[in-house]
Structure 1
């Protein structure tokens, strides 16, 4: 089932019950996704009573210039692995599939088209909130979603200039984890168990992410082969089902 088909089924059920769903959107590079991201999403989901939190791995992030970013498919699959056990978490490819630089306004426009009748809550680091006024089409952002800034307990921010009814702050348990730190540990051969979900640790190891370039080139050939094997297995499964009908 495609992303649009899945969303259509979800909306059909929501409309039948006459409810307006509350959808969280957590954008990020997720290179890699770690437990800090997951804790923040879970806390916001609980506090704001969200029906779903959609993780959106970025395409080409204009604010992440200066370093190479892992392939979108790698970051997407790690996010799928990390969120699979939570029924309220899902992952969208809208930014990766759109191509080009990722701007929040484009993300929200695409998600709004998928969830036209629902309330949207964009989850981001609280330290990013003061920068929103510099973002592309910043005035439009407030019409598309309510912004939720997550911060460490006791952290103070100057939110001057931001609409009071458009922004909320929430403190989350302190977790000194960053994607940069995870990448540096992997590069140095230091374990990252329990900093990221187990499946993500295994994925990083299998595809040699954050290692020297030659190791990643070999891994890329491997992932292409895995996709081909998976597609073949799915075709065989479908053909088998058709024969039994």
Structure 2
């Protein structure tokens, strides 16, 4: 025979609402960020807003396998500049997994680790429209497509037709590069408005980019 306590427990369990489970939606924008500039920030923010993502993480690479070897400043400086640049935007965050791992970072290996750490998260990997043509050269690409949804940012002069599953986002494109900014700093030219003021101040205080481009 059920006791009054048993009946109370059953009734309580039947009335408990079933919580709907919503997977977290996270964008990833990788790069050297040497230094981070406003074009990076615009892309990250606009993609996050356009797709309704919960957050967008800027992921500095320790050493990228997809570009020619280039001298870069210490990762500590690059990370600090990112933190300064995004401090007032709650949508943007930093992902340090590749800095922690060090060495060359293949996107596939990085995303395997992130998915394993965060099985409740869907990842959107953001690339420029110019990079879409290079997707066939990416390491373990077919497997990578099972881990992330690629997001292509349209760029003038580059097609948006591709056989790969890419979500395209149309964002006003700024023809701005970290290389150009480093050159201007080395030459003593102004970089006002190319970078957030906090980042400009940090570059001046630390004396960055004065000896190398």
Higher Rg of the two aligned structures: 2
Tell me the equivalent position of 1:35. 38
- Residue by residue over 1:177-211, the C-alpha shift from the partner in whole angstroms, topping out at 9 and shown as x without a partner, is 11111111111111111101111101111111111
For the 8 Å contact 2:62–2:104, the answer to whether it is kept is: yes
Q: Secondary structure at the match of 2:124?
A: strand
For the 8 Å contact 1:57–1:96, the answer to whether it is kept is: yes
The CA deviation at 1:170 is 1.3
Query: Higher helix share goes to which structure?
Result: 1
Q: Secondary structure at the match of 2:134?
A: helix
For the 8 Å contact 1:153–1:173, the answer to whether it is kept is: no
From 120, 127, 130, the equivalent of 1:127 is 130
Structure with higher RCO (Cα < 8 A, 6+ apart): 2
Mapped partners of 1:113, 1:86: distance in 2: 27
Tell me the equivalent position of 2:148. 145
Tell me the equivalent position of 1:113. 116
Tell me the equivalent position of 2:5. none
Tell me the equivalent position of 2:209. 210
Q: Secondary structure at the match of 1:73?
A: helix
Mapped partners of 2:189, 2:172: distance in 1: 25
State the superposition RMSD in angstroms.
Answer: 1.7
The CA deviation at 1:63 is 2.9
- Note if 1:188 corresponds to 2:192: no
What count of residue pairs does the alignment treat as equivalent?
Answer: 194
The CA deviation at 1:115 is 2.2
For the 8 Å contact 1:127–1:157, the answer to whether it is kept is: no
Tell me the equivalent position of 2:13. none
Mapped partners of 2:67, 2:182: distance in 1: 14
Mapped partners of 2:44, 2:61: distance in 1: 16
- Residue by residue over 1:157-189, the C-alpha shift from the partner in whole angstroms, topping out at 9 and shown as x without a partner, is 4524x2xxx311112112121111111111111
- Residue by residue over 1:196-242, the C-alpha shift from the partner in whole angstroms, topping out at 9 and shown as x without a partner, is 111110111111111116xxxxxxxxxxxxxxxxxxxxxxxxxxxxx
The CA deviation at 1:153 is 5.4
The CA deviation at 1:21 is 1.4
- Residue by residue over 1:45-99, the C-alpha shift from the partner in whole angstroms, topping out at 9 and shown as x without a partner, is 1111000101110011123334201111111111111111111111011001101
Mapped partners of 2:199, 2:20: distance in 1: 37
TM-score when scaled to structure 1? Answer: 0.74
Mapped partners of 2:66, 2:73: distance in 1: 15
